[in-house]
Structure 1
C-alpha cells in the first residue's frame, strides 16, 4: 500500500486542512482524527490516521463502506505539481517524483531510476511528463503527462511499441512463476508494489510476444490482468487463445469493479492476496466456455445444490444431486481437477429458464414525485446490443408479471421458469448491493452537488465525467442521471478561438454582448447565489441584420441545434415545463409579439409574469398526485433571452431587469455577409467544444467574474448610471466580457473596453427610459388634458377633485369621453397596470370614493398629485 512518503512529507499539511474543513468537524483521538461527518452517509464516523492521512474512511463498514483519497476530498492541496514541485539541480525529477508518489501512490525508493522527467510541447507551451523507456536504448518510450494537453491528451508514445512490454528493471521470471500482464505501466507498478511479478502490454490490443518468446521453456503462467471494460475483456479472450496456441500456461484475473483499475485498488489498499484470488476465480468464470463448466466452478465456490446461473446471455437453473459430494470424496479426486468436472457432469442437470440474461443494475428514484423503478441490463444470445429497461415493483412481483414485462420491453425476452425459479432469481438480485440513482428532471447544473449533468457527460468542479457501465454518473458517492432525453446537447467537439474577430465584424458589439451574456448563463446559479440576480437579455433586430444567425450560432457553441420557443404558441403549463427543463442554460423566447402579422395580429405575451425569474423565483405551482396537499414548486434555474421584432413592452420593474440590444445593419460592409455565412453554416461539432471548455475552467472563470463585477458595478455608478438593477444587469454582462478575454486571445484590451463602453451606453439609455413616462401613460395624460380642458368638456368634468393639488378621475368616464370625442380607445386593463408608474402625476390612491366637485356625489376615482400651478380654475377665476 502507498507508504505516504512525498518529497515534502505532506502528512501534516493534509491533517491541518482536514482539521480546518468545516465539512467534517473531526475530533482528535490519539493518532487519529475521528467522528468526522461522512460526505456519503452523513454519520459522524469518518476517520483518518494522522501519520498516514492519504485515505479517509467511513467506519460504517456494512452500511456505507465509502472511502476517499486525500486528493478527492482536498483537491486544492494536490493541484499544479509543476508549480509546487519544480525540478532542482539536486533533483531534476522532483515534479515526476511528486506525481508518482501523491497521484499514483508509489514509493520513490522502489522505482527510483526507472523513469525520468521531461517536457512535452503543447502548442506554444510545455507540459511536464514522466517518461518510461520501453527499449534498452530509450528510443521507444511512453510518456505520461502531468496534466492534460489542450487536445485532451494524457499520454504520448515515442516510437513503435508493437510486440513490446514494459517490465520492472531487474525482474527475472523463473520456472513456473506467474506474471501479471496489465494494460498500463501504473497498473504493473501496482502489482510490483504488492509483491507480484508483472509486465505492461501498454494497451489492450498489444500482444507482448517478444517478452513471452523470451521465456520459452520456463513454464511461466501468464495472468491476463487487463482492464475489466469491454475492450479489456475482448482482448483477454483474443490473447488467451494466442497464448494457448503458443503452448503457454494462461490464467485470467479480473478487477472486482469495472470502474477501478489495479492502480486505483493499490491506492485504496485493496490489492492483496484475497483480492487476487477472487480476481482469478472471476477470471475462470469469465473464460468458462460451456454452461456445465461454469456450473461446476460456482458449485465449488458455494457448494449449493440448486442455484440460478447466467451463461451465454441466458439464465439457467442448475441442480446438483446430493450424491455428488460423497462420490467426489470417495474418488479422492482433487475438487478443481478436470476429472472432478467429468464426475460433476453425471450428477448435474441444467435447464434454461430465460432466453436472455437479466441483471439488476440500480434503483432509480424521482425525488419530486416520490416514485421509484428498478433498472435492469438485458443481454441477448443473438448478439444484439445490451439493453437497459426500467420496471416498476408490480412488474417484478410475480413470475407472470416479469414474463410479460420482458415481452413488452425487450427484443423477445421471455421467462419460462416456475414461480419457485422466479423466487430464486429474486433472491439472487437481493443478495447484490443495489445502488440508488437520483433521476434529474432537467439538463444542466444539479442543485445539491453543483455538477453539470447532461445526457452523455457530466462536469464536476471542472472535471469531465463519463457514465459508468450502467449508464449513470457517480458523483460524491451518489448516482445521478438526466431523464431529459428530448433535449440533446453535444458535450464533445472542437473549439478554435480564432473565430472571434470575424464574429465581432459580423455581429458588432451587440454580438459580443450576446456572447458574454450567453457564456455567463453557465454560471447563472452561482451568480444568483452571490448577487441574487442574473439579467434578462433582449435581442431585437431589423430584417437581414443577422439576429437568427447569431442565436443559432450561440446555440451551436452549447452543442444544440435550436433557436427558441414562441410563448404565444404554448400553454401556461407548457411554458412552466419549458422553464423547468434546463439549469444554467438559456431559454430563448422568440416572436412574443404579433405586430404586423395576419395571424394572431396584435397579440402580446405578458413578459411581466417573468419578473421573479430574475432572482431565480419559482416557475409555478403544481399539485403532486398523492393523498395529501403536496405541491411542486420548482425554482427557475435557467436564464432568459427575449428575441422578437419589437422591443419588449412591460412595467419598469421588468425593463430594469433587461439588458436591451438591437441589431441593425450600420456596421455591415463589403464581405460581412460572407463572414456571417460561416457562422450560419458551420457544423455543430466544429464549435460545440466551447461548452466543455468553459465548464472545465469553472473555478478560474467564476473567480475572475466576481472580481470584475465588483469593479464594474462601482464604475457604472460612478459614471452616472442610477438604477440599481440597471447597474447590476449591465455590469454583469460587462464582467463576462472580461471573462471572454481568458478564453479568446483576440478578445484584447481594446475589445474588452469597447464592449464595456457599449454596455455603459446601453445602461444610460435604459436609465433614461425608466425615468420618463411610459408611452401608454404619456398618451393617457395627453388625451386627458385635451378632453378635460380643450374639448367641449371645458368645465373640466372629468376631474372630480376639489383639492387644487389633486386630480381625481373615473376611468370608465374617461373611456366614454374618448369614444364621444373620437379619441383612440385605450385598454383599461393595461392602463390600470401602467398608471401606478406615472411620474409627472404620481398615483396617490386608486379606486376610492371621492366627493365630486362636479356632481356633489361620491364617485370611485383614481387620485393623482397635481401641482397648484398646473391646476385649472374651472370657474374661470
Structure 2
C-alpha cells in the first residue's frame, strides 16, 4: 500500500471504527457497524479489508475501496504523468484500487483519456488492447459522473468470438481454463495461479478462441470452467443463463465443462477481483465456488438435491430447479430399498444414475410450487407504516418473470402465500405446507437488503435524486432501473411506489433531437419561450425554493384555438408524458391534495377550472383558487390522518409547480394573482408558417424529444448557478421600474428571466430571442401589477351599470348618501332598476363576495343610511346600503 494512502486510511479507521492502536501486525477491537461489537480487526500494514471476528453471528466485512471511495476516485490528480512514467495514474489504479502486482502486467495496458462531450467531463482511463482489434478501457477519475458507463469498448470493436488472455499465460500448458467476464477478474485469478481468460461480456461465446485452443491441445483438451458474473438472483441473472447455455454448447462440441459461481450475500455484488482483494481465492475457497457452479449446471432435480445433501447433510430442504420450487426429504430406509431393487434389475446404470433413479423411486424429491418465488428485498413506506417484501416469481416456460409484493402476513402462512401467488402469477400454485414455507423464507430473508422508497415521481430532495420512470439522475450521472425494479446509486437503493403516473424517458442520447426548438419559436414566439423557461425551472423547483423560498405559478389563457393545448401537450412530451392536465373541479379536496403530492420538480397542470355555467357550475364552486396559495412556498397546507392508535398526521410538502390553462382569466384574490406569471394567447399573430410549425410540434414523438429532461437535469449545477447569478440582478431591475410596486411580482418575473438565461445550457437559444423574451417578461410584470391594482371584472361591471343607471337628467337615482364623498347603494334597488331597463347584472352572491374588495371606490361599511333621494313627508327614509368612498375626480354635489 502506498505510504501516503496507508497513513490516511489508518487515521480514518482509528477514528471511524474505534480501533485500538497497532498491536504487532494487526489493528484490533474496532467497533463493528453491523453488530456493534468491538470485534473488528484488520492487518496494520495493509488494511485493505476490515472483518468482524464474530464470523458465525455477524461475519461483516468491508473493503476500504468501498468504505472510503473518495480516496479511490481521482487517480490522475494524485499520480501525475511524467516523461519517465507516462502510465502513472493507470498503474496506481491497478495497484491500489484493484490490488494487482503491476510488474506482471507491464506492457499489457496504457494510460489514455476519455471525454464525454454532453457532460463536458473528461477522465483518465486504463486501456487494454483486445484480440480481433479495438480496445477496452476503465474510467478511473470520479467515474460516478458518467453514471453506469464506468468502462467502455471502442466503437466498432471486433472482440466477438475471442477472449482476452493475461500476459505470460501460456494456454498450451494448462489442464483447465477458467472463463470469466471481465479483464480484472481474469487478472485476479491468474495472479493466484488459476489460468483464466476474459470473455469480456457474458453473451460472447469465444468460438474462435476455443477453436485455437483445441488446435493447440489436440485430443487432450483442457476442462473449461465457466465462471461468468453472478448477480445473486438464483439462476435468473444473465451470467447464470449464459453459463448454462455455453456449457450445453461447449459439451456438444466435445469440451468437458464445469462451472464456478460466487454465492452472493445480499450486501453488494462480489466478483473475482473482490475475492482477490479479500484473500478468498485459496484452494478451500475454490471448492465452494465450484460447488455453487455444479448446482447451477445440474441436469436434474435429483442431481442438484444430492449435491446440496452431500455438502450440507440436511435431511430436508427447499431448492430451485428449472424455475420451480422443490422439496427434498430423504428417508434412508426407503432410499436403500429402492436402490437395492434397481441394482438387482442390473439395467447397466452408472452410480450417479442409480442414485438419481433411487431418489425418484422413494419420492425424496417432490415439487411444491409450479414456479419459483424469490424474495428480492424489503421496502417500507415510513409515512403510512406499511411494508412489503418484493418478490420475483420465475416461471418454467418462456414467459417473463413476474415481480410483485407480499406483505408480512402473506409470507407467514401457506394458505395466504398461495392465494397471493395465484393472484399475481398466472398458473402460480403453491402446494407446500407452512413449515416448508417457513424454511424457504428463513433462507431467503436472512440478510435481505432494504430499498428506500418515495411515494411520488420526480425529484427527491432528501436523496438529491431524480427518479424518472425507468431512469434516474443524481449529481449529473444517469442510472437505469435494474432487473429488480430499483435504482442502485452508489450506496443508495431507491424506487418510487407511485403507479398511477408514468414517465417514459428515452435515455438514448442519439435519439434526442433539439430541432423542435426552432419550430416552437416559429409557432409561439416569445410566449413559447416564457413557457419553456418555466418548464425548465419546474425541473429545479425544490432547489430554487430552498434558496428563494418560492416559485411562481404559470397561467396560460386564451381563446379557443389559440394553441394552448398544443403548447402544453408538447412541453409534457419534453418530460416523457402524454398528458395535458387535470380538472380540479372534478375532484374532491382530498383527491386534489393527493394529486399535488404525486410529483417532485414536475408541473401540476390544471385545466378547465373556469366553468361558470351549465351543469358543472355548482360542482365548480367546490374549487377555491385560494387553495393554491401554500403551494407557492412548497406546502400543500392540508394534513391527513394516518391510520394508527395515536394522533399522527401527515402533511406532505408540495414538490412541484402549478400551471393553469383555461380560456378565462383566473378569478381569485390578490394573494393568488400576485403569485402568477400570466401568458395570454390569441389568434392575432397566427400565420400559415406558424400553423405549420405548430402541426410539426404535434408530430414529434416522446422518443425523439423526452431526452430534454435528461439534458436539463444532468446540467443541474450549471443551471442553478445561472439562476443564482442572474436572478438578483433582474429582480433589482424590475424593482426600479416606475410602474412596479409588488416585490412578489418582481421576484417571480426575475426568476423566469434567469431561467431564460439558463435555457442556453439546454437549447440553442439566440441573444435576440433572449432579449425579446426579457422585454415581454418586463411587460408581463407591469401588466400583472395593473391587474392587481384594478378591480375585479365583476366589480368593474357593477360600477359601469351603477353609473349608467344612477346619473340622469333629474339627478342621481341610486346613491342614497348625503355626503358628497360617499356613495351609498342598495343592491336590491340596483338590481330592480337594472331589470326595469332590461339590463343583465352580476349575481347577487358574487357582488356580496367581491364588492368589499372594490378599489376604485373603496368599500367603507354596510349600514343604515338616511336616504338623500328617497324622501317621505320631507324626511329621508332609512335604507340599508353598501357604502363606498367616491372617487375624488368625480365627486360632485347632488
Confirm whether residue 213 of structure 1 aligns to residue 211 of structure 2: no
Q: How does 1:282-301 map to 2 (within 5 A)?
A: 282-301=292-311
The offset of 1:868, in angstroms, is 8.2
Q: How does 1:310-329 map to 2 (within 5 A)?
A: 310-321=320-331
The separation in 2 between residues aligned to 1:760 and 1:49, in whole angstroms, is 67
C-alpha contact 2:640 2:650 (8 A) present in aligned 1: yes
Confirm whether residue 262 of structure 1 aligns to residue 262 of structure 2: no
2:365 is matched with which residue?
350
Match of 1:704 among 722, 734, 756: 722
Alpha-carbon spacing, 1:696–1:182, altered in 2? closer, same or farther (3 Å): farther
1:226 is matched with which residue?
228
The separation in 2 between residues aligned to 1:192 and 1:812, in whole angstroms, is 99
1:400 is matched with which residue?
415
Q: How does 1:641-660 map to 2 (within 5 A)?
A: 641-660=659-678
The separation in 2 between residues aligned to 1:81 and 1:750, in whole angstroms, is 44
C-alpha distance after superposition, 1:771-795 (max 9, x if no partner) = 3333334444555566777698849
Alpha-carbon spacing, 1:429–1:71, altered in 2? closer, same or farther (3 Å): closer
C-alpha contact 2:549 2:633 (8 A) present in aligned 1: yes
Q: How does 1:551-566 map to 2 (within 5 A)?
A: 551-566=568-583
The separation in 1 between residues aligned to 2:20 and 2:229, in whole angstroms, is 40
Q: Which region of structure 1 is more displaced relative to structure 2, 496-505 or 809-818?
A: 809-818
Confirm whether residue 444 of structure 1 aligns to residue 495 of structure 2: no
Q: TM-score, normalised by structure 1?
A: 0.82
1:280 is matched with which residue?
290
The offset of 1:599, in angstroms, is 7.4
Alpha-carbon spacing, 1:815–1:370, altered in 2? closer, same or farther (3 Å): farther
Match of 1:160 among 147, 158, 161: 158
1:331 is matched with which residue?
none
The separation in 2 between residues aligned to 1:101 and 1:757, in whole angstroms, is 59
Alpha-carbon spacing, 1:112–1:841, altered in 2? closer, same or farther (3 Å): farther
The separation in 1 between residues aligned to 2:581 and 2:405, in whole angstroms, is 32
Q: How does 1:402-551 map to 2 (within 5 A)?
A: 402-430=417-445, 432-474=446-488, 477=491, 479-492=493-506, 493=508, 494-551=511-568
C-alpha distance after superposition, 1:479-528 (max 9, x if no partner) = 43323333221122532234323322222111111111112211111211
Match of 1:766 among 784, 809, 814: 784
The offset of 1:536, in angstroms, is 0.8
1:382 is matched with which residue?
397
2:110 is matched with which residue?
116
The separation in 2 between residues aligned to 1:46 and 1:584, in whole angstroms, is 43
1:741 is matched with which residue?
760
Confirm whether residue 169 of structure 1 aligns to residue 167 of structure 2: yes
RMSD: 4.7
Q: Which region of structure 1 is more displaced relative to structure 2, 339-348 or 282-291?
A: 339-348
SS in structure 1 of the partner of residue 778 of structure 2: helix
2:234 is matched with which residue?
none
The separation in 1 between residues aligned to 2:129 and 2:64, in whole angstroms, is 29
The separation in 2 between residues aligned to 1:488 and 1:26, in whole angstroms, is 43
C-alpha contact 1:595 1:602 (8 A) present in aligned 2: no
The offset of 1:177, in angstroms, is 5.4
The separation in 2 between residues aligned to 1:581 and 1:816, in whole angstroms, is 50
Match of 2:197 among 196, 199, 216: 199
C-alpha contact 1:539 1:643 (8 A) present in aligned 2: yes
SS in structure 1 of the partner of residue 658 of structure 2: strand
The separation in 2 between residues aligned to 1:47 and 1:513, in whole angstroms, is 61
Match of 2:744 among 704, 714, 725: 725
1:237 is matched with which residue?
244
Match of 1:185 among 144, 168, 183: 183
SS in structure 1 of the partner of residue 551 of structure 2: coil
1:639 is matched with which residue?
657
Confirm whether residue 132 of structure 1 aligns to residue 128 of structure 2: yes
C-alpha contact 1:181 1:200 (8 A) present in aligned 2: yes
2:374 is matched with which residue?
359
SS in structure 1 of the partner of residue 484 of structure 2: coil
The separation in 2 between residues aligned to 1:857 and 1:161, in whole angstroms, is 104
1:752 is matched with which residue?
770
C-alpha distance after superposition, 1:178-201 (max 9, x if no partner) = 543222223323434566432111
The separation in 2 between residues aligned to 1:122 and 1:615, in whole angstroms, is 37
SS in structure 1 of the partner of residue 659 of structure 2: strand
Alpha-carbon spacing, 1:201–1:28, altered in 2? closer, same or farther (3 Å): closer
The separation in 2 between residues aligned to 1:206 and 1:554, in whole angstroms, is 45
C-alpha distance after superposition, 1:134-186 (max 9, x if no partner) = 24xx9543344666889979331565223322122112357555543222223
C-alpha contact 2:184 2:273 (8 A) present in aligned 1: no
C-alpha contact 1:712 1:731 (8 A) present in aligned 2: yes
SS in structure 2 of the partner of residue 497 of structure 1: coil
C-alpha contact 1:455 1:485 (8 A) present in aligned 2: no
C-alpha contact 2:95 2:102 (8 A) present in aligned 1: yes
Q: How does 1:791-830 map to 2 (within 5 A)?
A: 794=812, 798-799=816-817, 824-830=840-846
The separation in 2 between residues aligned to 1:12 and 1:852, in whole angstroms, is 95
C-alpha distance after superposition, 1:104-141 (max 9, x if no partner) = 66565553432123456877998765431224xx9543
The separation in 2 between residues aligned to 1:68 and 1:860, in whole angstroms, is 85
Q: Which region of structure 1 is more displaced relative to structure 2, 633-642 or 777-786?
A: 777-786
The separation in 1 between residues aligned to 2:401 and 2:881, in whole angstroms, is 73
Match of 2:136 among 124, 139, 142: 142
1:570 is matched with which residue?
587
Q: How does 1:59-98 map to 2 (within 5 A)?
A: 87-94=81-88, 96-97=90-91
The separation in 2 between residues aligned to 1:34 and 1:790, in whole angstroms, is 101
The offset of 1:705, in angstroms, is 2.5
Unpaired stretches in structure 1, ≥5 consecutive residues: 328-337
Confirm whether residue 370 of structure 1 aligns to residue 371 of structure 2: no
The offset of 1:404, in angstroms, is 3.4
Alpha-carbon spacing, 1:202–1:376, altered in 2? closer, same or farther (3 Å): closer
The number of residue pairs the alignment matches comes to: 845
The offset of 1:437, in angstroms, is 3.8
SS in structure 1 of the partner of residue 655 of structure 2: coil
Alpha-carbon spacing, 1:182–1:782, altered in 2? closer, same or farther (3 Å): same
The separation in 2 between residues aligned to 1:773 and 1:732, in whole angstroms, is 27
Q: TM-score, normalised by structure 2?
A: 0.81
C-alpha contact 1:580 1:619 (8 A) present in aligned 2: no
Match of 1:589 among 603, 606, 609: 606
The separation in 2 between residues aligned to 1:551 and 1:292, in whole angstroms, is 62
SS in structure 2 of the partner of residue 487 of structure 1: coil
The offset of 1:686, in angstroms, is 0.9
Q: Which region of structure 1 is more displaced relative to structure 2, 255-264 or 576-585?
A: 255-264
Q: Which region of structure 1 is more displaced relative to structure 2, 518-527 or 216-225?
A: 216-225
The separation in 1 between residues aligned to 2:51 and 2:808, in whole angstroms, is 86
Alpha-carbon spacing, 1:598–1:305, altered in 2? closer, same or farther (3 Å): closer
